[in-house]
Amino acid sequence: MSEEMNENVTPFLLEELMNGDMKTFRDIFFELHTYEQGEFYLSLTTEERQQLYRYLSPKELADLFDGIEEEQEDVEQLLKEMDSGYAADMLAYMFTDNAVDTLNQLDKKDVAMYLSIMDPESAKEIKNLLHYEDDTAGSIMTTEYVAIAADQTIKSAMSYLKEAAVDAEIIYYIFVVDENGYLVGVISLRDLIVNDDQSLIRDVMSERVISVKVGDDQEDVANTMRDYDFLAVPVTDYKNRMLGIVTVDDIIDVIDEEATSDYSGLAGVDVDEVAENPLHAATKRLPWLITLLFLGMSTATLIGHYEALVSEASILAVFISLITGTAGNAGTQSLAVAVRRLAVQEDDRSFLRLIMSELITGLITGLVTGITIMLIVGIWKHNFMLGFVIGMAMLCAITVANLAGSLIPMLMDKLGFDPAVASGPFITTLSDLTSVLIYFSIASMFMGYFIG
């Protein structure tokens, strides 16, 4: 809800709600966009929402619920505030895919309870979608779409569309199926409008239909819709029988979810924990931090191994954090590009060519950075041999970190793991370990040249 809407309408609506003026409340409430209705609803206290339930029918509340995005704990609380019969009716009136998303956040016993109360037809539709695996086309599709026959006239199709549009989630695309339910074509609402009423659907429909399979990953579905600029895409079984559609509003949620997942992986933390209590948030962060602590101990142990070298040339200690930090930054950059490349899957180069590309990129960035730091150290310390050692260590450390940032997510993807799990903190800590090893190995080789 906009700030102006919140300041001007919300207090007045709340006053009418609690004063018992149902007619005035409903008149104003239904002038709002469903998003604004949802924002108002979520801003209420439990007592205020109880009054709202008396003013709105389950179907009216369903329209509101179709547009809100809430966490599991909030959805459970909101549904438990309602009478169970009222809640079941509300779920039945929601678009099937949204009802499934809501029910997937509840305990199985609560899901069974709501399904047993609602009307059998709605319960059957919801059950048909509940069994699909999470994050697949089947789990996000809706069964509220318009399907017509190829041998219909446009006039009869338009007549049917007027009746079916009431319950359909989207009517811009009308799908054509045969008598066995197989997808054979698609026609747009525009085509129905501009063509002659007596024309047959088969003569104006497009037979080349882009569809997705029910078991396809939701990210692949999102990529398909992005590539073709679709508002909806049909979902079929593996025999091309029409099962449902995925609409653009669900894909926006998928894109947001996938982006959050990737960012969480890169950060090594759940970025959705902003509303959690400190203890719960700490519990989620600790496993990664403890794991990285032990990996960091390896770096500390390695530095301890070169204690004699540092004692002999204490100037080396000054540049440890510079080399490890720069290499870690390079590795994180490479990791971000690699995860993005895997997400969009638009790079058709071979694995070997990708490695060579990252190697060359690492060498170029490492060489420029190495020469820069060599000149800075040489002028600063009046010792260009020391500068050469620092520059060479920087070149090698950045190259290795760049390769690690690219190869690790690619290897994880090949092994079937989420590449985003190769998080930024992990790559940074790993780069610290390799950078220290490279740095002191090179320093020990040229020890006699830069100290005296």
Cα–Cα distance, 197 to 193 (Å, whole number): 8
Predicted local confidence at residue 396, as pLDDT: 95
Predicted local confidence at residue 265, as pLDDT: 56
At the top level of CATH, the class of 147-252 is alpha beta
- Residue 209's nearest CA partner among 183, 177, 171, 182 is 183
In CATH, the architecture of 3-132 is: Alpha Horseshoe (1.25)
Structure tokens belonging to residue 217: 């990953």
Predicted local confidence at residue 1, as pLDDT: 43
Contact 384, 374 (CB under 8 A): yes
Predicted local confidence at residue 427, as pLDDT: 79
Structure tokens belonging to residue 393: 């260590």
Encode pLDDT of 188-244 as tens digits: 999 999 999 999 999 999 999 999 999 998 888 988 998 899 999 999 999 999 999
Rounded mean pLDDT of 308-313?
84
Predicted local confidence at residue 272, as pLDDT: 53
Q: Is the confidence at residue 176, as pLDDT, over 50?
A: yes
Contact 139, 133 (CB under 8 A): yes
Residue count (the chain): 452
Rounded mean pLDDT of 62-77?
78
Encode pLDDT of 254-294 as tens digits: 877 766 665 555 555 555 554 556 776 677 667 767 877 87
Cα–Cα distance, 35 to 318 (Å, whole number): 56
Contact 435, 327 (CB under 8 A): yes
Contact 417, 388 (CB under 8 A): no
Q: Is the confidence at residue 116, as pLDDT, over 90?
A: yes
Going by pLDDT thresholds of 50, 70 and 90, the confidence category of residue 4 is: very low
Rounded mean pLDDT of 438-444?
92
Structure-model confidence comparison of residues 36 and 274, the more confident one: 36
Predicted local confidence at residue 104, as pLDDT: 86
Predicted local confidence at residue 70, as pLDDT: 60
273-450: CATH topology is Tetracycline Repressor; domain 2 (1.10.357)
The region of weakest confidence among 99-113, 123-137, 353-367, 406-420 is 406-420
Contact 399, 361 (CB under 8 A): no
Percent of the chain scoring above 90 in pLDDT: 42
Predicted local confidence at residue 60, as pLDDT: 93
Residue 71: partners with Cβ closer than 8 Å, 6 or more residues away: 105, 272, 275
Q: At what angle do helices 46-55 and 22-29 cross, to 10 degrees?
A: 90
Q: Is the confidence at residue 391, as pLDDT, over 70?
A: yes
DSSP 276: S
Average per-residue pLDDT in the chain?
85
Q: Is the confidence at residue 2, as pLDDT, over 50?
A: no
Cα–Cα distance, 356 to 94 (Å, whole number): 52
Q: Is the confidence at residue 421, as pLDDT, over 80?
A: no
Encode pLDDT of 343-373 as tens digits: 666 556 677 888 888 889 999 999 999 999 9
**So where are the chain's domains?**
3-132, 147-252, 273-450
Predicted local confidence at residue 355, as pLDDT: 82
Predicted local confidence at residue 149, as pLDDT: 94
